[in-house]
Chains A and B, each alone.
Chain A
Amino acid sequence: MTSSPRSARRRLSLLLAAVCAVTLLPALPAAAGETYEVHHVPTVGAR
């Protein structure tokens, strides 16, 4: 089966969009409204 230049361009665009999305994913901020905190809990056997 052959594909037209137009459909090939569309597939290339989709591919680039997917690559960019994956690349950007780790840099996305936490979901709106979420918080992220670090706590330190006292316990025996550790100062």
Chain B
Amino acid sequence: MIRVEVRRDPSFDAAKQPVILTYSPDNSLSEPETADDSVGNRYVPRGYARAVADVLGTRGSTGCWDYGGADEQQSGVDVVKYLAALPWSNGKVAMIGGSYNGTTATMVAARGDAVPELKAIVPIAGISRWYGYAYGNGARYFLNSQSATDEGFDTPLAFDVGFAKTVAADPMGQAFADTVRARAAECGAVEHTEEGYSRNPDYDGFWLERDYRKDAADIRAAVLIAHGWQDYNVKQEEGTTLFEAIRVDNPSTSAVEGAPFKKLYLTQGTHSGGTRGDRWQPLLDRFLAATLTGEDNGVEREPVVLTQGRTFAGADPTFRSEASYPAPGTKEANLWLRRTFDTDEIPGVTLPPPGTGETGALSSKPNNTTTDNVFTYVDTGLATEEVSNRDPLNEFGHGYYSLYYKSLPLAADTRISGSAVLDAVVRNSTAGQHLTPVLLDVAPNGTAKTVERGFLHLSYRNGLARSQPTAGEWIDADVELLPQDYTFKAGHRIGLLVQSSNTVWAVPGAVGTMNIANGRVPDATRVGSKLTLPVVGGELRFTKP
């Protein structure tokens, strides 16, 4: 049994009411009346019923917590159908919520034709693929070294031993007894832990079952996704990639090819800031009115994307209205990793001191020679992007635990929309090492700020399905960084840190040395390593040296 609390004003019953549902695993934090919340306060007086349900295996619901699996998915479908069939209901249900509560909205919508009663979803900072909450291409996400926050490491632990073990606040006869009985069971906790905290997390059946993005084409509900660009708990890519994967129906055909429409609202907020800005509430009001009551307010004809960008100085003061994500006119622009070392090695000194002539450049042309083609750093498992960024040796000498590259100063403001990609050619000494590039904005005075960061466990360089450990040979390793909406100002440089473990942000990989190809190397299929940027307008222009 799934426990659902429903709050409504029966004076609207004659006209029939739609339902705004949140399906949450953490309602033990919202005792005693979970539907007595801000959503209910706003929408119940406007003729919507407010429903809040306890996820399978949590609080007042029986059964076992399922980590977003098949039983949890079906339970969400069952709740939507139940609410739509109540005598006062108009048969239309929306699901809304933040974090896990937004995840369940996507989870149910991905069931497509199985739940036609679900007319709208509003996933706010929601997960669309559970693997992506735990891992960045095989690297286990951990904490945040900029502010002390958890970046997903609590899951599944906090549910298996926390929210899935609480006792319902109110005794409910047989349901209450079943609730208590289920809490005493193992409930798949061993499998959850093995899959959720693995050193070699293959994308196996467990994760496929919990991948709603792969079923995004089945979504038939209207979609309003909200996410913070600076959300590194549920990474911003969980929202943007879901948005890209959702198909929209073509109204000129009789067949239904997708959702009626989709919208994307992106702020510069963190995990709790996905809806900040004064344009959110009016947008939500009109979205729900259009999808649940049939009000013709034109919301579906307005620009699809609202996004708040960022520069070195911080968040943009206003949002951009755009027709697509990535922004219209975004094209790939390539920069090759080049590196020179102008001074002879100093006898007896393995690593030269600062000022001995090593420089890294992001160049519009590759290095076709075999000169200056290989550079090396050592990963001790202690490097973080902040340490690498502050390493004074990075600028002039060897970066001991990373390599640093920078472009010439930009001749014009340059906006990127989406993910940079590092197509690297590397040779790692130890199987299981990571590659975690960090894209930087370098101000004229040399200070740098992180723009994007990416993660790759090298054993998954050929795909997530199966770990393929390797060491001591040149390999292609492509890393798609987590996306951003960012503008480099004229006069600033594009910077790149190439490092292995990004400790704190992720659980470190195996330690060892790493060779990076900056030109032709034997047996490699590519000429060196390349950074590709999603540039709005497609053009990178630099000032002459």
* List of B residues within 8 angstroms of A38 by Cβ: 3-6, 60, 170
* List of A residues within 8 angstroms of B8 by Cβ: 34-35
B77 closest partner in A (C-beta): A43
* List of A residues within 8 angstroms of B82 by Cβ: 39, 41
Q: Is the interface of B mostly helix, strand, loop or mixed?
A: mixed
Cβ contact within 8 Å between B1 and A36: no
> Is A24 at the interface (CB under 8 A from chain B)?
no
B contact residues, total (Cβ < 8 Å): 37
Binds A, one of B63-71, B246-254, B278-286: B63-71
A41-B4, A44-B75, A45-B75 known; A33 and B11 CB under 8 Å? yes
* List of B residues within 8 angstroms of A31 by Cβ: 9, 44-45
B2, B33, B66, B72 interface centre (most CB from chain A within 10 Å): B2
A41-B1, A41-B82 known; A46 and B62 CB under 8 Å? yes
Q: How far is the CB of B62 from chain A (nearest CB, A)?
A: 4
Q: State A41–B51 Cα separation when bound (angstroms).
A: 12
Cβ contact within 8 Å between B4 and A46: no
* List of B residues within 8 angstroms of A36 by Cβ: 5-7, 33, 35-36
* List of A residues within 8 angstroms of B44 by Cβ: 31, 34
A contact residues, total (Cβ < 8 Å): 17
Q: How far is the CB of B285 from chain A (nearest CB, A)?
A: 19
Cβ contact within 8 Å between B75 and A43: yes
* List of A residues within 8 angstroms of B45 by Cβ: 31
> Is B335 at the interface (CB under 8 A from chain A)?
no
Q: How far is the CB of A10 from chain B (nearest CB, A)?
A: 31
Cβ contact within 8 Å between B63 and A40: no
Cβ contact within 8 Å between A40 and B5: no
List 11 extra interface pairs beyond A35-B7, A44-B71, A46-B71, CB under 8 A.
A30-B7, A30-B36, A31-B9, A33-B10, A36-B7, A37-B5, A40-B172, A41-B78, A44-B78, A46-B1, A46-B63
Instruction: Name 24 interchain pairs, CB-CB below 8 A, sorted by A.
Output: A31-B44, A31-B45, A33-B10, A34-B7, A34-B44, A35-B7, A36-B36, A38-B6, A38-B170, A39-B4, A39-B6, A40-B172, A41-B4, A41-B82, A42-B1, A43-B56, A43-B79, A44-B78, A45-B66, A45-B75, A46-B62, A46-B64, A46-B75, A47-B178
